[in-house]
Amino acid sequence: MRTDNRFLVGPVVTGDSFIGGSYHQLKAELIERLLRARNSVSLVGLPRMGKTSLMQLVEESAGQAPYERVLPVWFDMNRVAAAPDMTQFDVLLASIVHVLKRQLAKTPGLSKAEAADIWETLAEFEATKPSSYAYRLGFTDLFEDIAAAGWRVLLTLDEFDSARDIFTSTADFELFRDLTQERYGVSLAFISRR
């Protein structure tokens, strides 16, 4: 069996396995929309079309010149399962914060002075009771503190089809819609099959 077969089904597509010039054009358009400007996009398509691979290419540009102050946060929504004391939505919020926390910890350009408020808000969020209004406020406060420090977040939610099982109320959707406000500095990317 050939190992250089670009038509193999399986891992994320990289390098010359992307076929056709449209991927380069789409990548450039997504970088413009999500990294240079602050927008939201939905990538919808059939399985194995390269949606995830394309967004991973865009995410690789975050944190690099001229997008050094964009923090990429990627989360696969299929990984959400309810903990005994948390709804799936609360687990989603906690999981996103966990990934964001790891990203912040390895961001070299984030000074201690800039990060002080962010780390304090992170600690407050982690100490807040899930399923409370304060929990949701703490989640959005975190993004507001990141934006106040002059940073932005590219939040990619892969397998967004799972939202129908995770988001149980209109307020759940509204929380993510609210993140698109200027004061939060978040660009949202949703990847789904429907």
96-153 tens-digit pLDDT: 999 999 999 888 878 878 889 999 999 999 999 998 999 999 999 999 999 999 999 9
Judge whether residue 10 has pLDDT over 70: no
pLDDT digits (tens, 9 = 90+) for 55-108: 998 999 888 889 889 999 999 999 998 778 789 999 999 999 999 999 998 888
Q: Which of 49, 25, 29 is nearest to 39 (CA)?
A: 29
Question: Which has more confidence, 79 or 5?
Answer: 79
SS3 106: coil
